[in-house]
Structure 1
Amino acid sequence: MSIAVAALPLDAAPERILAFRAPPPRAGRAHVIKDDAEAIAVARDLAARIAETAIERDRERRLPYEELDWLSDAGLFAITVPKAYGGADVSSGTLAEVIAILSAADGSIGQIPQNHFFILHALGLEGSEEQKRFFYGRILSGERVGNALSELGTKTAQDHNTRLSRDGAGLRLDGRKFYCTGALFAHWVAVVANDDEGRSTISFVPRETPGLTVVDDWSGFGQRVTGSGTTVIENVEVHPFSVISLRAVFDRPTSMGPVAQIMHAAVEAGIARAALAETIRYVKAHARPWKDSGLEHGYEDPYTIAQIGEVKIRVAASDALLARAGRYADIAVADPTVETVAAASVAVAEAKVASTEASLLAASKLIELAGSRATQQQFGLDRFWRNARTHSVHDPVRWKYRAIGDYWLNGINPPRHGAI
């Protein structure tokens, strides 16, 4: 089945474009961020507000509908929209830094935009001019895309049983997804499915489409409010206009993989920063000295001082590798070749290894150095480790070590997919 997108006037009404049940545009108009510096400044302002209630949100599993509306209204969900369509088109490094800033405030909220931006990047690579005009316009108004990518019960997390099948002049989706981060809060759900020829596709499905059911059943011990649960897709009607190819973005060298992965590295980097900052704050304010030390204050303990020094170095290295990976990713965006995409993928993998290990170390040392009192639920200090550990198993670091080693030792390029 070849899915052809019919040419439509760029000013066509949403009802004509999608032919059925296009949601009305989001009320009001979100702020439009103009450049990279503004994106980072806005992220910092919002992160300060988000951090104020992070402990309660995690403890009570209070889903962040309001907080995500803050991000939408401020324009952060539109920062990668190309300038030709009215967006800021920020660099990969800025995108990663925005996600790291939000993740430092709340790891769950930092992760939610990742798949939104992943889908927008695929749209930029494979969407038609009409599709870009329509969907970028909706994103600039503050709308959000959630994902329905992975499934339970398949051989690997990248395999899909969900099907997109021809039905007369239209299409139908059927399947069941899990790990659907952000779908609960989305205006559009991006459903990955194989077509009748087994080719991987992405369908933009309005959140309220009949037959599409998003279930709040995520029970992970970390990243508790990402909404990463089940999406059930039963005989869902899809117009060809809302479909793009996913397979095509990996069949040729593109920046899809590095851009997807740098955002995961950024989540871990943000958690690492926050865990280190909390360690320093708590140790200075509350940690008691060990009785054999003869010291007056816990922050004078030489072993504590040395270990905080070690964590600081690891977090700083993680940040440096993340910034470096952003530069490599931007080269791949501007000039996608076999060589530039491979180099970017490896640089991002190096950043992901460093940020994962830094976040787990910092989150563990926080509890160790802060002492027994720090395990009390009222402080919520366990959330850093729980969030880092939960998010870090998204794709295994042990395979990144192999890909990095093969590249530098044997000159073997890593595979082209979204998990390296």
Structure 2
Amino acid sequence: MTFSQHVAVITSDEQALIVASDLADDFKRDSALRDRERRLPHPELEAFSRSGLWGISVPKAYGGAGVSNVTLAKVIALISQADGSLGQIPQNHFYALEVLRVNGSEAQKQRLYAEVLAGQRFGNALAELGTKTAHDRITQLRRDGKGYRINGRKFYATGAIYAQRIPTSVVDENGVQQLAFVPRDSKGLTVIDDWTGFGQRTTGSGSVVFEDVHVAAEDIVPFQSAFERPTPVGPLAQILHAAIDTGIARAAYEDALYFVRNKTRPWIDATSDIATEDPHTLKSFGQLSIRLHAAEALLERAGEFLDRAQADTQADTVAAASIAVAEARAISTEISLAAGSTLFELAGSQATLAEHGLDRHWRNARVHTLHDPVRWKYHAVGNFYLNDEKPPLRGTI
């Protein structure tokens, strides 16, 4: 198993944000080219890993920075603004680390956190095609001597192609879901680059096939129990998705500003010779600005609620965090789609030329926001405030 070399160890929230901002500047440079050519970002991910950012959620007690969820969300938003795919790739890495924090044994935490701080990336093999619902799992975990064997097939395995370990949801002989932290180089494990989504094109979100794959008992972490009691695992997963969409929205908005300022011509009926003085354009930018700032504020607020739920985990704090995150998810979905689409209305036909690559923002937002339906966010939020009904305990609401 290989690790990234010369990995930095980030020690504070402030350092994490500075490093993320610097990396984002580098990642933005060729983001349109990577999208257009579906060039998988192997060198960028190595830089990402060496920066130490993949270890920032490791608790201080285990040598990490233990950054706040406000900071974690900002880091993901910054990277997603530069490149939506790069921002999504570590999402399930941080999700797996939260499952480990909540349900892992002390020995598992010591060992797996150390691997992350040394530069190891975790992917994921959670979702499956062809099951009754999107949350059903049939990949099997069966005991074999002192260890286990895994058989099954996964899809939407974001990050697996780039990972050294692939946390995999499996169903044991008692019908209980576990999370197996499977080494990427395990015999019988095949990662297939068959992701053909029209957005988030370089996430590598394809298939993972397990054919009698051995996994050690010490690499199995309880999974289902994280949703049988109040834990922050669900809202942690969701705030990262909200951060990705918020970053994509900010990228589309900034590109719209640049294009209208520098390239767009005013419409024939406008009273000004300058596109930036068109009253309809001003109104549209005003609407986008307000919604984007609201999304960014709700994302920060959601991080604060999640920090409280991690510090004092009980039914009420987890429910409040889940609702705050659902609010951020709802508005980030809408502004990412609106910014990606309105960009062309404001910038004009010139903006649709392939060399600009501006269509990637809407495509990335459209594909990523399908992760779970925004209509159910509004249902959960309304039910919470009107009927005092807590949201369900799972990874999505």
- Using structure 1 for the length normalisation, give the TM-score: 0.94
Partner amino acid, structure 1, of 2:108: Q
Match of 1:235 in 2: 212
Correspondences of 1:94-243 after superposition (within 5 Å): 94-243=71-220
Q: Does 1:415 align with 2:396?
A: no
Which of 226, 231, 237 is the aligned partner of 1:260?
Answer: 237
Aligned residues of 2:4 and 2:46 also touching (Cα < 8 A) = no
| Correspondence 1:389 to 2:389 | no
Q: Secondary structure at the match of 1:415?
A: coil
One-letter code of the match for 1:161? I
- After superposition, residues 18-29 of structure 1 pair within 5 angstroms as 23=1, 26=3, 28-29=5-6
Q: What is the one-letter code of the residue matched to 2:343?
A: L
* Residue 329 (str. 1) matches residue 306 (str. 2): yes
Q: How far apart, CA to CA, are the structure 2 residues paired with 1:33 and 1:300?
A: 45
Q: CA deviation at 1:168?
A: 2.1
Q: 2:4·2:120 contact (CA, 8 Å) conserved in 1? A: no
Aligned residue type for 1:194: V
- Aligned counterpart, 1:5: none
* Equivalence for 1:317: 294
| CA offset digits 1:323-372 (Å, max 9, x no partner) | 00000000100111110000000000000001111111111110111000
CA contact (8 A) 2:4 2:50 kept: no
The alignment status of 1:248 with 2:228, answered yes or no, reads no
| 1:369 match | 346
Secondary structure in 2 aligned to 1:378? helix
The letter of the residue matching 1:93 is: V
Q: How does 1:280-291 map to 2 (within 5 A)?
A: 280-291=257-268
Is 1:352 matched with 2:329?
yes
Partner Cα distance (2:43, 2:134) in 1: 31
Q: Say if 2:271 and 2:278, in contact at 8 Å, map to a contact too.
A: no
Whole-Å Cα distance in 2 between the matches of residues 124 and 370 of structure 1? Answer: 46
The 2-side partners of 1:169 and 1:372 are apart by 63
State the secondary structure of the residue aligned to 2:211.
strand
2: CA distance between counterparts of 1:221 and 1:367? 18
Q: Do the aligned partners of residues 29 and 129 (structure 1) sit closer, same or farther apart at CA in structure 2, a change above 3 Å counting?
A: farther
The SS at the match of 2:101 is: helix
| Contact 2:227-2:394 at 8 Å conserved across structures | yes
Structure-1 separation of matches of 2:169 and 2:121: 17
2:16 aligned with 1:36:
no
Cα offset, 1:155, TM superposition: 1.1
Q: Give how far 1:43 is off.
A: 0.3
| 1:87 maps to 2:64 | yes
- The amino acid of 2:380's aligned partner reads A
Cα displacement string for residues 16-36 of structure 1 (whole angstroms, at most 9, x for unaligned residues): xxxxxxx2x525341000010
The total of aligned residue pairs comes to: 397
Compute the displacement of 1:293 (Å).
1.5
The one of 281, 286, 293 equivalent to 1:304 is: 281
Query: Residue type of the partner of 1:345?
Result: S
Opposite residue 199 of structure 1, the aligned amino acid is V
1:275-330: per-residue Cα shift (whole Å, max 9, x none)? 11111110000111111224211111110011001000000000010000000000
Question: Where in structure 1 are there 5+ consecutive unaligned residues?
Answer: 1-22
SS in 1 for 2:378: helix
Q: Distance in 2 between matches of 1:96 and 1:109?
A: 14
SS at match of 1:103: helix
Q: Secondary structure at the match of 1:218?
A: coil
- Displacement over 2 Å in runs of 4+: none
Q: Whole-Å Cα distance in 2 between the matches of residues 272 and 417 of structure 1?
A: 26
Matches of 1:264 and 1:257, distance apart in 2 = 11
2:42 matches 1:65 = yes
**Which deviates more from structure 2 when the two are superposed, residues 274-283 or residues 294-303?**
294-303
Q: Distance in 1 between matches of 2:327 and 2:129?
A: 28
The DSSP-based 3-state class of the residue aligned with 2:7 is: coil
Q: Distance in 2 between matches of 1:320 and 1:265?
A: 12
Name the SS for the 1:383 alignment partner. helix
